[in-house]
């Protein structure tokens, strides 16, 4: 997993975002055991307490759970993962629509733009 | 109990006020960045914590005790200048550390040295600057100390070495110990820190969690530092 951090947001919330994305995209599949806090912190190059905080937040959201002795696991509840997927998709859509608005695009223009792009990318993205 | 506590701490060198009424508390389990421009008092503060200097006023407590032989068993210190005898080889240095510090973990040091392909016969003299800095850090981090004081551990080394050093700090993270890293290379260390302390002209300006600065200011600690310390 590649970790990237923006400078204008807290590190822990970016960790939450990136691990969620890892879960949604299947990089951390349902039911998979997560690496230890220390290993994840080292991989991301962040403070272990910050990683711990991010994992606690993911636990609160239901995407991961802790088994007392065995460690942390990705949830097996597909519904929760689907919910997270939808949340991330909506966020991306909102950012996209904001950008389009700044460019002066209206509803019709945006839709036809999406159609055009879909045609062009048909081969490689499979959309 | 706080692992490090400074109360009304001041240090004067003749007419120069190096530290001015510093009040600072650092809890175990924290990785703290001591950030300030050159000459702001960072090294003076760390030397006071080590008992290498004595306060002009106020006091320092390390795990509740004044700096002395007992606190030296608790504090693992990386000075800002090379300090290892350069005629020694790595094996001799490990013997030296084992003699001086009861908490030196030779296995841990050997493991980290092996990772870097540094063998025990290599002498400090034969090493590049970057390798020397890595060896110093490995020795210091191989102690099971309660407080690690690292004075500019990433100054003057290449970015890959810098990453290795920060990695080593995370790898050896211990919830019962605190790490204080003094530096002005903030962008590089920001991600590994819990909190930062800004110091200017010998005074503490701010002590705050990294993510609280990012949350409140909408900018990185590095950017915020540049704003606060703008010349």
Mutation target to probe the A interface, by most A beta carbons within 10 A, among B170, B173, B215 is: B170
Strands in B16-84 per DSSP E? 16-26, 31-35, 57-62, 75-78
Report the C-alpha gap between B221 and B183 in whole angstroms: 13
Residue B6 confidence (pLDDT): 97
Q: Tokens in use for A33?
A: 């055991």
CB A53 within 8 A of CB A14: no
CB B25 within 8 A of CB B178: no
* Radius of gyration of chain A from its Cα atoms, rounded to whole angstroms: 18
User: Looking at the DSSP assignment, which residues form a beta bridge with residue B76?
Assistant: B148
Residue B73 confidence (pLDDT): 93
- CATH number for B4-228 (one of 3.40.50.300, 1.20.200.10, 2.170.270.10, 1.20.1250.20): it is 3.40.50.300
Mean pLDDT within B150-161: 86
Q: Tokens in use for B118?
A: 């540094």
Measuring CA to CA, which residue among A33, A26, A24 is closest to residue A80? A24
Residue B220 confidence (pLDDT): 95
Give chain B's mean pLDDT. 93
Report the C-alpha gap between A65 and A74 in whole angstroms: 7
Mean pLDDT within B174-196: 93
Residue B165 confidence (pLDDT): 86
By Cβ distance, the residue of B167, B211, B218 closest to A42 is: B167
Greatest CA separation for chain B: 51
Measuring CA to CA, which residue among A24, A97, A94, A35 is closest to residue A63? A24
Quickly count: other Cβ atoms within 10 Å of residue A4's Cβ: 7
By Cβ distance, the residue of B170, B173, B191 closest to A11 is: B191
Q: How far is B183 from chain A (nearest CA, A)?
A: 17
Mean pLDDT within B24-28: 97
Q: What is the ipTM of this complex?
A: 0.85
Q: What is the DSSP-derived secondary structure letter of residue A32?
A: P
Measuring CA to CA, which residue among B156, B170, B68, B105 is closest to residue A45? B170
Q: Tokens in use for B205?
A: 């300006």
By Cβ distance, the residue of A7, A9, A48 closest to B173 is: A48
Mutation target to probe the A interface, by most A beta carbons within 10 A, among B191, B196, B213, B216 is: B191
Where b means 16+ CB within 10 Å and e means fewer, B26-44 reads bebbbbbbbbbeeebbbbb
Q: Tokens in use for B72?
A: 């030296």
Residue A127 confidence (pLDDT): 52
Query: What parts of chain A have a pLDDT lower than 70?
Result: 122-127
Q: Tokens in use for B127?
A: 């090493």
Give chain A's mean pLDDT. 91
CB B170 within 8 A of CB A48: yes
CB B191 within 8 A of CB A46: yes
Residues ≥6 apart with Cβ < 8 Å to A85: A24
CA atoms within 13 A on the CB side of A26: 0
Q: Tokens in use for B51?
A: 């008992």
Residue B88 has pLDDT above 60, yes or no: yes
Most confident residue range from B117-121, B130-134, B197-201: B197-201
Residue A68 confidence (pLDDT): 84
Residue B45 has pLDDT above 70, yes or no: yes
- Percentage of chain B exceeding pLDDT 70: 100
């Amino acid at each position: 997993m590649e970790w990237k951090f923006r400078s204008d947001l807290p590190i822990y919330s970016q960790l939450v975002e990136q691990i969620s994305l890892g879960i949604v995209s299947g990089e951390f599949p349902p039911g998979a055991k997560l690496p230890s806090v220390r290993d994840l912190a080292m991989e991301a190059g962040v403070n272990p307490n910050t990683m711990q905080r991010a994992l606690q937040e993911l636990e609160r959201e239901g995407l991961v759970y802790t088994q007392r002795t065995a460690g942390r696991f990705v949830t097996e509840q597909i519904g929760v993962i689907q919910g997270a997927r939808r949340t991330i998709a909506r966020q991306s859509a909102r950012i996209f629509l904001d950008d389009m608005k700044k460019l002066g695009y209206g509803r019709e223009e945006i839709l036809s733009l999406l159609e055009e792009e879909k045609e062009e990318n048909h081969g490689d993205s499979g959309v | 109990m706080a692992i490090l506590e400074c109360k009304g701490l001041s240090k004067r060198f003749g007419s120069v006020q190096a530290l001015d009424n510093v009040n600072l508390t650092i809890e175990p389990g924290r990785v703290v960045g001591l950030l300030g421009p050159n000459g702001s008092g960072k090294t003076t503060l760390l030397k006071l914590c080590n008992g290498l200097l004595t306060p002009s006023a106020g006091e320092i407590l390390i795990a509740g005790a004044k700096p002395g032989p007992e606190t030296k068993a608790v504090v693992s210190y990386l000075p800002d200048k090379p300090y290892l005898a350069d005629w020694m080889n790595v094996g001799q240095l490990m013997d030296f550390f084992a003699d001086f510090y009861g908490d030196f973990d030779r296995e841990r040091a050997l493991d980290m040295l092996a990772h870097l392909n540094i063998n025990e016969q290599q002498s400090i003299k034969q090493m590049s600057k970057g390798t020397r800095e890595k060896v110093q850090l490995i020795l210091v981090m191989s102690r099971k100390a309660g407080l690690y004081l690292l004075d500019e551990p990433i100054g003057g080394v290449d970015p890959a070495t810098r990453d290795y050093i920060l990695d080593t700090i995370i790898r050896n993270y211990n919830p019962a110990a605190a790490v204080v890293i003094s530096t002005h290379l903030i962008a590089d260390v920001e991600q590994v820190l819990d909190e930062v302390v800004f110091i200017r002209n010998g005074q503490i300006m701010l002590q705050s969690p990294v993510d609280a600065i990012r949350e409140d200011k909408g900018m990185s600690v590095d950017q915020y530092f540049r704003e606060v310390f703008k010349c």
